[in-house]
Amino acid sequence: MRKLVRLSIAIGGFLIVTSIILTGAVFLILLNIIDVSVFADQASMSLLTLMFLAIGLLDFIAGIILLLKR
């Protein structure tokens, strides 16, 4: 059980860092510092979709682990 708590803490830390990076990227795009057309090609869109899906899945797993910890 202790290993699951450590795993959920590690996943949570990873998600916090990733969300800070993504929030910073969104602000840079909103301020027109980064050109949005960089992400317009098919490979980048697929990669961004998979990245958001992986982050959501990790967040869900961390939530389940913390729910079962009770």
- Under DSSP, the state recorded for 40 is -
Amino acid letter at 39? F
How confident is residue 1, by pLDDT bands cut at 50, 70 and 90? low
Q: Rounded CA gap, 47 and 64, in Å?
A: 26
Question: Tens of pLDDT along 24-59?
Answer: 888 888 898 888 887 778 888 888 888 888 888 887
Global pTM exceeds 0.75: no
Beta-carbon contacts of residue 65 (< 8 Å; ≥ 6 apart): 4, 5, 7, 8, 11
